[in-house]
Structure 1
Amino acid sequence: MPSPSLLQQLISALRCLPGVGAKSAQRMAYHLLERDRDGGRELSRVLAQAMESIGHCSRCRTLSESGLCRLCANPERDPTQLCIVETPADQAMIEQAIDYRGCYFVLGGHLSPLDGIGPKEIGLDHLDERFAEGEVKEIILATNPTIEGEATAQYIHDMAETRKIKTTRIAQGVPMGGELEYVDGATLAHAFRGRSEF
Structure 2
Amino acid sequence: MTTSRAPAPRVKKSTASASMWGVSPTHLVWSAQHNSTLVDYTWSVGNTPFGPFSELSSLSFIQKDAAKRNVILTSLNFTITSALDVLESISAHGGERKLLPHNQLSEFIQRWNLFKYKLDKVVSSLSHLDFETALYYLRSSDHDLYAIHSLVYHASQDLEASLVCFEDPPFPWASFLMSVGIFFVLVYAYSQRDKLFSNKRKQF
TM range (shorter): under 0.3
TM-score of the superposition, structure 1-length normalised? Answer: 0.21
Query: Going by fraction, where is helix more abundant, 1 or 2?
Result: 2
